[in-house]
A and B are shown apart, each in its own frame.
Chain A
Amino acid sequence: MTTTLIPLSSRPPMKRRGRGTWGLRLAPYLFLFPNMLIFGMFTIWPAINGFNMSTYASSNGRTFKPVGMDNYTTILSDAQFWAVARNTVIYAIAFVLISTVLGIALAVLIEKQKRFKVFFRSVFFIPVLISPVVVGLVWGWMLERQNGIVNIGLSWFGIGEVPWLVDNGWSMVSVIGVGVWMQVGFYMLILLAGLQAIDPTLYEAARMDGASPWTQFHSITLPLLQPSVVVVVVLATIHGFQSFDFIYTLTGGGPVGATTLIVQYIYENGFQSPIRYGIASAGGVLLFVVVFLITIVNWLISRKQEAV
């Protein structure tokens, strides 16, 4: 029985040998082809077209007027855009941090749990299944200042009314909270699958060596969980920056723009009168570039750590 499981990425590339080298060389391309074909046709090509629109002005998606970089200069000099950008960054950072930590905590706790394990595993995932529009609706009722059950519940503990949705600061807190509530089950599931892959004999060996539970967590669980953690951080970053549906239902981007994020900005420019496709597209390009850079940096940092 092998005792260690070294992630593939830290090993040197496999040597190709044996018969059928031609088949071996072709194989990866064949495996990739169907997926990439669909990607190319239905995501990448339209994305190129969509991004291309950012150098034009259009109010109906059919007639275009070339405007060069005007859309970008308009956006970047728009005070509302910078407010929206700031809101998005705050939300994304909070969302990623809280969901990742919470996800790990939940996955670890559930993994250790003996009784009602299946119940707990399912329960946290149910919020993920609810449509974002309904999430916004129901939380909107629950967070009402005067009659929402959250404040009613808090009043039992003697805490006064909290203006969850009508105060600038609290509305951001509410949006982050609901966002995490909605998604953490998703990340927990990924981390749980990753936890399953850790060889339990490692823990036994460590315990017999006298390692404390915290040391076990620190030197066995976390490092071996890293590929899953990277997945969660990358996905959470992307989801965080792209949040829109539930926020729009929950606060409409209010009060007075305090929770308006970048996708809402894009949406309003692309689908509400007066329609400005060029601006929406330019906003989309900016969002994409920012998320792309952050993810690449994330990814490279994690690659470096894996190599150690």
Chain B
Amino acid sequence: MSAQQNPPRTWTSLGNVRLSDALRGVVLTAGALLALIPVLWTVLGAFKSPTELAARPPAFLPDSWALTNFTEALTRFDFGTYLRNSVLVTILATVLTLALNSMAAYALAKYNFRGKNFLFVLTLATIMIPLQVILIPVYQVVAGLGLVNTLWGMIIPAAATPTGVFLLRQYMLSIPDELIEAARVDGSGEFRTFLQIVLPLCTPALAVVAIFSVMWRWNDFLWPLIVAQSADVYTLPVALARFNAEETVPFNLILAMSVVSIIPVVIIYLFFQKQIATGIANTGGK
């Protein structure tokens, strides 16, 4: 980018940097507070006892910062195993999702072939199927394949996320054809073109799909519930759901577990932040 004397990319009619920056700051901060306060409430609640949670009006800060809720929740069940399963399923599913979705998206975005529109519409349509209706039929398929009660049974079926295909396809539409044509003329095979030219350009979209996949798989509850049978295959959300259905719901334990559950995802999200920011480094021919 050429150096500019005064680069005010602002929108106020006066071109006054300060005013618009301040306004924007205020709006964003207000929004951030709105987004954060419930999260803060959750975290604070994780340190409160059931009586404190039941108090009306509720106190803002907990009586003590002791970790009793956390230790109690974690000792109620086999936390280590559930954590391990959640981690494995999430990572493997995300890798699989990125691979499958990006290939499918590439085909739908950059080729013209018979059945393209039909398949694209079909992909879109699968997002609209309510999960509750297919729960039992899916189980029958999984059982038929012998994947019940296995981690792969939780990883594979949901890996072909239609939303991921949809997002990546839209993004790939804006990759200029000249790059691909140039590679072809240079003698690069289709797959190599895909791998070496197209994928690196999709980093922001891939990062987005990766984050979504991590989030979905990590929080996914219905699917592991149905596939898993024995406790050594359960994931964290299944355990969380158990608390919710006890006769006297231990809200303090639920909050503690939720807080523990969120931390890894937040970390991964922050890790992927950079990838989204990269954007397309150059435009036009590389």
Do chains A and B directly touch (beta carbons under 8 Å) in the complex? yes
> Which residues does A use to contact B, with CB under 8 Å?
1-2, 5, 7-9, 11, 13-14, 18, 20, 23-25, 27-29, 31-32, 34-36, 38-39, 41-47, 49-51, 53, 61, 106, 109-110, 112-115, 118-131, 133-135, 137-139, 141-142, 144, 146-147, 149, 152, 181, 185-186, 189-190, 192-194, 196-197, 199-201, 203, 212-214, 216-217, 227-228, 230-231, 234-235, 238, 241-242, 263, 266-267, 270-271, 280-281, 284-285, 287-288, 291-292, 295-296, 299
Q: Which of B70-78, B84-92, B263-271 contacts A (4 or more CB under 8 A)?
A: B263-271
Tell me the chain B residues, 257-286 only, with Cβ under 8 Å from chain A.
Answer: 258, 261-262, 265-266, 269-270, 273, 276-280, 283-285
Given contacts A51-B133, A271-B132, contact A9 B173 (CB under 8 A): yes
Contacts of A118 in B (CB 8 A): 273, 277
Across the interface, name the chain B residue whose C-beta is closest to A195: B279
B134 at the interface (CB under 8 A from A): yes
Q: Are B58 and A42 in contact (CB under 8 A)?
A: no
A-B pairs with beta carbons under 8 Å apart, 30 shown: A1-B284, A8-B173, A23-B189, A27-B190, A28-B113, A32-B108, A42-B141, A42-B160, A46-B137, A49-B134, A50-B134, A118-B277, A128-B215, A130-B42, A133-B241, A134-B42, A185-B35, A196-B204, A197-B171, A199-B283, A201-B283, A227-B173, A231-B166, A235-B163, A241-B128, A267-B132, A270-B135, A287-B128, A288-B125, A295-B125
CB distance from A6 to the nearest CB of B (A): 8
Give the interface size bracket for B toward A: 35 or more
Q: Are B45 and A61 in contact (CB under 8 A)?
A: no
Contacts of B146 in A (CB 8 A): none
Q: Are A13 and B112 in contact (CB under 8 A)?
A: yes
Given contacts A42-B158, A141-B41, A299-B124, contact A234 B279 (CB under 8 A): no
A38-B157, A142-B37 given; name 12 further pairs at CB < 8 Å.
A8-B109, A38-B160, A41-B141, A49-B134, A50-B136, A134-B254, A147-B56, A152-B57, A200-B1, A231-B167, A242-B128, A263-B130
Which of B28, B119, B137, B219 meets A113, CB within 8 Å? B28
Which of B9, B156, B184, B185 meets A203, CB within 8 Å? B9
Given contacts A35-B160, A127-B39, A192-B276, contact A29 B125 (CB under 8 A): no
B224 at the interface (CB under 8 A from A): no
CB distance from A70 to the nearest CB of B (A): 18
Contacts of B28 in A (CB 8 A): 106, 109-110, 113, 120
Given contacts A138-B41, A190-B208, contact A50 B280 (CB under 8 A): no
CB distance from B95 to the nearest CB of A (A): 13
Contacts of A192 in B (CB 8 A): 276
Q: Are B104 and A32 in contact (CB under 8 A)?
A: yes
Tell me the chain B residues, 45-88 only, with Cβ under 8 Å from chain A.
Answer: 45, 56-58
B233 at the interface (CB under 8 A from A): no
Which of B32, B104, B124 meets A31, CB within 8 Å? B104
Contacts of A46 in B (CB 8 A): 134, 137-138, 140-141
Q: Are A284 and B258 in contact (CB under 8 A)?
A: no
Q: Are A217 and B11 in contact (CB under 8 A)?
A: yes
Given contacts A31-B103, A114-B21, contact A2 B283 (CB under 8 A): yes
* A185 vs B273: C-alpha distance when bound (angstroms): 13
Which of B106, B167, B237 meets A131, CB within 8 Å? B237
CB distance from B29 to the nearest CB of A (A): 8
Which of A2, A24, A42, A115 meets B285, CB within 8 Å? A2
Across the interface, name the chain A residue whose C-beta is closest to B120: A299
Which of A50, A109, A284, A287 meets B27, CB within 8 Å? A109
Q: Are A189 and B276 in contact (CB under 8 A)?
A: yes
* A125 vs B262: C-alpha distance when bound (angstroms): 12
Across the interface, name the chain A residue whose C-beta is closest to B274: A118
Q: Are A47 and B126 in contact (CB under 8 A)?
A: yes
Q: Are A28 and B31 in contact (CB under 8 A)?
A: no
CB distance from B152 to the nearest CB of A (A): 12
CB distance from A263 to the nearest CB of B (A): 6
CB distance from A279 to the nearest CB of B (A): 11
* A186 vs B164: C-alpha distance when bound (angstroms): 13
B231 at the interface (CB under 8 A from A): no
Contacts of A122 in B (CB 8 A): 266, 269-270, 273
* A263 vs B132: C-alpha distance when bound (angstroms): 8
Across the interface, name the chain A residue whose C-beta is closest to B181: A14
Across the interface, name the chain A residue whose C-beta is closest to B244: A133
Q: Are A212 and B157 in contact (CB under 8 A)?
A: no
* A216 vs B57: C-alpha distance when bound (angstroms): 50
Across the interface, name the chain B residue whose C-beta is closest to A153: B37
